[in-house]
Structure 1
Amino acid sequence: MKILVVEDDDQMGALIERGLQAEGYDTTRVSNGIDALIAISGDGFSLAAIDVMLPQMSGFEICRRIRESGSTMPVLLLTARDTVDDRVFGLDSGADDYLTKPFAFAELSARVRALMRRRSMGAPLTLEIGNLVLDSRDLRVTVAGRAVSMSPKEVALLRLLCSRAGTTVDRTTILEEIWNGTSHIDPNIVDQYISYLRRKIDTEAAGVRIVTVRGAGYAVELAE
C-alpha cells in the first residue's frame, strides 16, 4: 500500500516515513501542497498523511482540493492545532481523521490501520431510507431527488445512522466509527455534527428524522 506523507519539517517527515516503511508501507514524501496535488493526480495512493501548517497552501486546502477532485482516498491531518474549532474545520475540509502533535508513532500507525480497514469493509455503496438516498462512492446525498451538500464527515455519520436505522447508536460507537476513538477528541463534536445534519435534512421531504434517545445516543427513524 502506498502512503503520501506531506510534511515540511524534514526531521518529522523522515521519522514518519521510516516508521511507515518499517511496517511495510511504500511511502512518498513531499513538503508542500503543489507537490502533494501533483503526486496525488499521478499515483495510486491508498492514504495521505498531511501536515496542516505548510508553506503556501495549508493542509486544510490540500484536503479540500483532494475532495473536489472526486477522490475518496483517506486523509489523516497532522497538526499542533488542537482546538475543537480547528478539528471541526479540518474534518469539514474532507479529512477522515485528525491527529494532534506531539504524537507517539504507535498512535499514528493505529490511525492509519483503522482508516485502511474502514475503506476495505465493503459497506453497500448506496443506502435508501424514506426519500433519502446516500451514495457512499460519490459522497452524495439526495432528498426527494434534490442534492444536499454535505462534508465527507457528515456523509459518514449519516451513513452510520442510516445503516442502523431504527436502532440507537451510542455516542461512544459514533466516536469510534467516525473519529477513530474517544480519547483524542471532544465528545461534543457528535452533537455539533448531528445539528449540522438536522439543519440540512428536511424531515418532511426526506421522510426520515434523526432523533435523540436521551442518555443513549441517536437514531434515524422513518417520520410519521
Structure 2
Amino acid sequence: MIGRREGLAEMRLLAIEDEPELGVLLRTALERGGFAVDLAANLAEARDFLAVVGYDAAILDRALPDGDGIALLREIRRSDTSLPILILTARDGPEDRVLGLDSGADDYLVKPFHMPELVARLRALLRRPNAALGITLTLGNLALDTVGRHIRINAQDVSFTPRETSMLEILLRQQGSVVVREIMEQRLYSLDRELGSNALEVLVHRLRRRLQEAGATPVIHTIRGVGYLMAEPA
C-alpha cells in the first residue's frame, strides 16, 4: 500500500459504498467539502484503489456485495495503522459498533445520517495529531483556514470555488517548492473522472487571476514542463 503524501492537500478520500445513489450523494457532498473522492462499489475495487493510491482517509460500508467491510478494515490495519477509517453502515447494534471499533475503525456512523455530520467527523479525524489536515496556512497577506475553507486576503474574506480553494491549499502547503503537475492532478481529480488536456492550466489561470484581483501578494509561477510554485515576490 503506497504511503500517504505528507504536506499535500486537497485531501484524497476512498469511499467504499455499494449503493449507487448514496455513492453519488457522498461524492458530491465530500467534493463540496474540499475533498477529492474515489468511489469503490465493493471490496475488490477498494483493494485495487488502495494498491495504487495513498489516501488521507477512508469511508467504509460493511454490507458489500463481496463480503463484510470488516475484513478489509483488518487487512488495512495490518499494513497501515494510521489511515483514518470511518465505518458508515446501517448496522447499528452495540455489538456491531464494538466490532467495528475493535477491528481498527476510528469512527462509526450509522445510516441514515446527515451529510454535514459526516464531513465534520472526517475533518475531526484529519485534525488529530499526526493527521493530514492543518489549521491555517499563510503566505504574505493570504491566509487559508483549511478546516472552515475560509480565505482571507488583507484580512478580508474572499470567496473562491471549492476547486480553486483546494488548488490554493496544495500550493500553500508546498509554498516555495514546486508541486509536480501529475501530483496536483491526482489530488484535484478522482481516478474515474476524465480530465481535459488543459483543465489544470485553466484552473491555474483562473486562480491566478482571482488572487491578483483580490490584491494577494503571493504569486503562482509556472515551471514549464514540471508544475507550479507559489511564493512571495523576491
**TM superposition score normalised by structure 1:** 0.52
What's the counterpart of residue 225 of structure 2?
A: 215
What aligned pairs does 1:134-149 form with structure 2 within 5 A after superposition? 134-149=144-159
Q: Show structure 1 runs of 5+ residues with no match.
A: 7-11, 17-30, 33-49, 53-57, 64-74, 76-90
Structure 1 pair 208/92, CA: closer, same or farther in 2 (3 Å)? same
Query: How far apart, CA to CA, are the structure 2 residues paired with 1:215 and 1:130?
Result: 27
SS at structure 1 position matched to 2:179: coil
Q: Which position in structure 2 is the counterpart of 1:51?
A: 24
Alignment partner of 2:178: what SS?
coil
1:106 aligns to what?
47
**Higher relative contact order structure (alpha carbons within 8 Å, sequence separation ≥ 6):** 2
Indicate how the Cα distance of structure 1 residues 110 and 193 shifts in structure 2: closer, same or farther if over 3 A, else same. farther
Q: Secondary structure of the equivalent of 1:192?
A: helix
What is the CA–CA distance in structure 1 between the aligned matches of 2:134 and 2:33, rounded to whole Å?
A: 24
The structural deviation recorded for 1:135 is 0.7
Separation in 2, partners of 1:155, 1:59: 17
Pair 1:5–1:166, CA change in 2 (3 A): closer
Query: Does structure 2 retain, via aligned residues, the 8 Å contact 1:111–1:180?
Result: no
* Corresponding residue number in structure 2 for 1:39: none
- Taking a change above 3 Å as real, the CA distance of residues 196 and 129 of structure 1, as seen in their structure-2 partners, is same
Greater shift, 184-193 or 132-141, is seen at 184-193
Distance of aligned partners of 1:169 and 1:109 in 2 relative to their CA distance in 1, 3 Å threshold: closer
CA apart distance, 1:150: 2.0
Cα 1:212–1:222 shift into 2, 3 Å: same
Tell me how far apart the structure 1 counterparts of residues 46 and 198 of structure 2 sit (CA, whole Å). Answer: 26
CA shift in 2, pair 1:169/1:113, >3 Å = closer
Is the contact between residue 133 and residue 142 of structure 1 (CA under 8 Å) also seen in structure 2?
yes
Q: By how many angstroms is 1:208 displaced?
A: 0.9
Shift of 1:95: 5.2
Name the counterpart of 2:137. 127
Instruction: Please say which of residues 92-101 and 186-195 is displaced more in the overlay.
Output: 92-101
User: How far apart are the structure 1 equivalents of 2:158 and 2:52?
Assistant: 29
TM-score when normalising by structure 2: 0.50
**How many correspondences in the alignment?**
150
Aligned residue in 2 for 1:22 = none
Residue deviations 1:72-119, cap 9 Å, x none?
xxx2xxxxxxxxxxxxxxx56855225599x93434666997140484
Return the letter of the residue paired with 2:37.
D
Partner of 1:172: 182
Identity of aligned residues (%): 21
Other-structure match for 1:150:
160
In structure 2, stretches of 5+ residues that fail to align are 1-13, 58-82, 85-125
Most deviating of 204-213 and 183-192:
183-192
Q: How many angstroms does 1:178 deviate by?
A: 3.4
Do the aligned partners of 1:209 and 1:223 also contact (CA within 8 Å) in 2? Answer: yes
- The alpha-carbon distance between structure 1 residues 196 and 92, as it changes in their structure 2 partners (threshold 3 A), is farther
What is the rounded CA distance, in whole Å, between the counterparts of 1:104 and 1:138 in structure 2? 32
State the SS of the aligned residue for 1:141.
strand
Aligned AA for 1:158?
Answer: L
In the TM superposition, residue 136 of structure 1 has moved relative to its aligned partner by 0.4
Asked if the contact 2:15–2:39 (Cα under 8 Å) also holds between the matched residues in 1, the reply is no
Offset, 1:171: 0.5
